[in-house]
Structures are given as C-alpha cells and as structure tokens.
Structure 1
C-alpha cells in the first residue's frame, strides 16, 4: 500500500481513492493541482497498484489497511474521502464499518454493483480478459485509444496515459480487484451520525445508478452532471470545473 500526503497541509483532509485498474496519479492526475490548493490530500495506491510486486488481495483486506492508516496518522477521522468509481466501494465500507469516521463521504459516479459468488465469477471471466488485453499489440492499443477518445472525449495525451496505466499492472491484481469488489456488499439505508454521503451522478450512466445511491445511503446529497462516467477526471475543464465546485460545496456543508 502507498499513501502520499500533499497539498495544503493546513487545509481539510481529503483522501483520494482511485478506481479499477488505476493508481491515483492516473486517476486524479488532471485535478490534483486544483485539489492541492485547498485540501490536505491523502493519495492512496492499493496493493498491486502501488509499483510494488504485491498482488491486490481483496477489498476488505485493503479496507482494513486504509482504516489502520487513518487511525495511526489522522486519529481515526478525516474531513472527507472521495472514491473514483470502484474507489467509492472503499468509501462506502469505511462509512458502514464505523472503524474510522469520515465527515464527508464523496462517491464519484460509482456503479455500486454487487453480486453473489457465481455471478461475480462469471462477470470476472467476461470482463477481466478485456481489461487485461486492451494493450496487447499496437493495433489493439490504437483501437482502444480511439474508443476512449470517442466515448469519453479524451485528448490523445489523456487516452495514452490511461492505456499505459492499464498495461502496467499484474492481471492477477486486476482480477482480484474486480471480483472481490462485486462480493463486497453494502447495507441498505446506511446512516451514520455526523457523516454526509455525497454523490457525483453522471446522468449518461442511466437512472438505475441513481436509484442505487438512494437505496444504499440515507438521504444522500446527489449532484447531477451531464457527462459520462467520471468524465470530469479526463482533462476537460468544462466537466472538471463544475464538479470541483461541487466538491468544495460538499466539504463545506455543515454536518
């Protein structure tokens, strides 16, 4: 595990938790400077995605490591934590388990998919080979890059950055991350005193995800944006700036 602290060290603490098959440098790279101006950032790279030879074990083991870090370095309390996609599963677990306290739990347009072991295994058998084959050969690499640019409106530079990220991690870590995320369930109507759940809702994902946010968290603060999944992190100011403003509003909300 890798934890790096940076930014405005006298500002509110904000933990950044990256998504599937990503490190924080790639996932939050386009907004790290903006966030650093105001917040004391705690940037996390999970086992298997931290440049070491470790393999990602499972979501709960990694959650426990995050909890231990918060206890040891921040007296068990954070002003905020934001999870990008799968990173939101960690945010949800940190809130639900109540081993540490987070004032503002911010969910970056997650899907919050959950399933049983059989379905999780079947999904992993279908999806993981795709995730791990994006960069097999120059032709496939270029095709993937064009799809990223077309669907997410990424620049060529940003698409290249994400492809490089996909290609550098052990397939076993990717498999474990994807599979155990599906098996790491949230309770319904989670409601923790002095914690507010905030959601960045990318409406192009579809309303079924909006229903999930309301299912798992009690009276969540949901902000709707006209964008694709996590599009605000792909380098375009027209998507990033409104979300960054919303994050500031989330973090300033009275609990």
Structure 2
C-alpha cells in the first residue's frame, strides 16, 4: 500500500479512496481543483499499486494500514475522506472503528452491498474472471464493447470515466492478480458496516446518485444516523467521473457548510 501526497501541506488533509479494482490515478482529474482547498492523500491499495508486488488481503487489513498512516503522519485526525464506490465502505469502516478521527466522511454514491459468505463466494466467482481479464489486459469483452459503441455522447463519457478508473485507457494493469480482485470483491461483501453509525465530531455526507434507485437512499439512512444526503440526478459516480469542477465544489461545500462556515 502506498499513499500519494500532493498539494500544500499547510491546508486541511483529505484522504481519497478508489473504487473496486480502481487505481489511485482515478483521482488525477480532480487533484488540481482539490489543491485549492486541501492537501490530498490518495490511497493505493495492496494488490492494485503498480510499484509494489503485493496482494489485497482484506478490508480489515487495509484499514489497519490506513489507520497506522493517519496516526503516524497526521496525529490520528484528518479533516476529510472521500470514498469512491468501494472507497465509501472504507470511509464507513474507518469511522465506525474509531481508531482514528475523520471530521467529514464523504460517501461517493456507494452501493453498500453486503452478502453472507456463501452468496459472496458465488458472486465473486462470477464477476472475478470478467474483471480480471478486463483489468489485467485492458481489453473489454465483446458484448461490453458493442454496448459502448452504441452509447450516446453523455453515456459514453460516463463509461470512459469508469474505464479510466480501472486503468484500461492505459492498456491494463498486468500486475493485478486474480486473487487480489477476488479478495477485494469478496471482502467488501462480507465485511459488515454497522447500522446507525454516529460518531461525535464526525459528519457523514452522501453524494446520492438518484438514478441508482431509492433503495440506496434507504441504505444510507440505515447505516448512518444523521447523514447529510446530497442528491444529484445522475448515475453512480457520474458527478465524480464527468463533472470534476462541480464535484470539487460539492466536496468543498459539504465540508465548509458542515462546519457552519461561509463559502466566500
């Protein structure tokens, strides 16, 4: 695991957590905007870091390493953390474990899916062969490529954004093993997030993509006691992928307004 720091270290610290099978470079397109307000630390998970020979073990194992870094470098407390999709699970777990403190946790339209071990194994066994081939070689399955070819401008922009997060635009990531993908997908499903998370001094913000469906909003109210739901009439992580300036502004507003401060 590596932590990529950038910006002015005198500014508040925000940690950035990539999604499932995504690289730390997922955040490259928003870093310049964030640097106006934050010192950024992008997390590169074990098994998905190009400069290390590691494998992703479990969500708990990664959490321990993240907590150790925050305690060592930032005194155990940071201003904010944004979790893109799977990253939202990491933000939730880090807050509920209470081993470090995050003033503002931002959940990026995460699905918060969970399953028992049996169903998690079945789901992982189905998805992993497809994801492994796509992520490691950078080549899409024919059925997927056909759908992309038929997509209109706005939909294709969103798809391209997702492919960029997987590193497919760079020709794939051959260092990522099938075991890392399996462990990440399976571990995310079986690692339970508590219901009604409520930590003094921490505000949970959710960038809720309403086109995902109402059941996800219900989940957010289940997992978090008093979440700040920020609705966007978009698909999953569309704001992040396709509207970087608007996304940066939403992050800024969430934190500054959450502390009762002026946006001026």
Length-normalised TM-score, structure 2: 0.87
2:158–2:238: 8 Å Cα contact kept in structure 1?
no
Residue 181 (structure 2) aligned to one of 174, 181, 200: 174
Match of 1:48 in 2: 47
SS in 2 for 1:215: helix
**CA–CA separation in structure 1 for the residues paired with 2:163 and 2:233:** 24
Match of 1:18 in 2: 18
SS in 2 for 1:31: helix
Cα deviation, residue 37, structure 1: 2.2
Match of 1:230 in 2: 237
Length-normalised TM-score, structure 1: 0.90
**CA–CA separation in structure 2 for the residues paired with 1:188 and 1:206:** 20
1:30–1:233: 8 Å Cα contact kept in structure 2?
no
Unaligned runs of 5+ in 2: none
**CA–CA separation in structure 1 for the residues paired with 2:112 and 2:89:** 7
Aligned residues: 251
**CA–CA separation in structure 1 for the residues paired with 2:33 and 2:252:** 11
Cα deviation, residue 227, structure 1: 1.2
Match of 2:156 in 1: 153
- For each residue in 1:16-58, what CA deviation from the matched residue of structure 2 results, as whole angstroms up to 9, or x when unmatched? 0001011121x21221211122210011101001111111011
**CA–CA separation in structure 2 for the residues paired with 1:156 and 1:217:** 30
- Considering only aligned residues, what root-mean-square deviation do their CA atoms show, in Å? 2.5
Residue 244 (structure 2) aligned to one of 237, 240, 245: 240
Cα deviation, residue 140, structure 1: 3.2
Matched, 1:188 2:195: yes
SS in 2 for 1:154: helix
**Cα distance change, pair 28–192 in 1 and its aligned pair in 2 (3 A):** same
SS in 1 for 2:220: helix
**CA–CA separation in structure 2 for the residues paired with 1:205 and 1:143:** 20
Cα deviation, residue 156, structure 1: 8.8
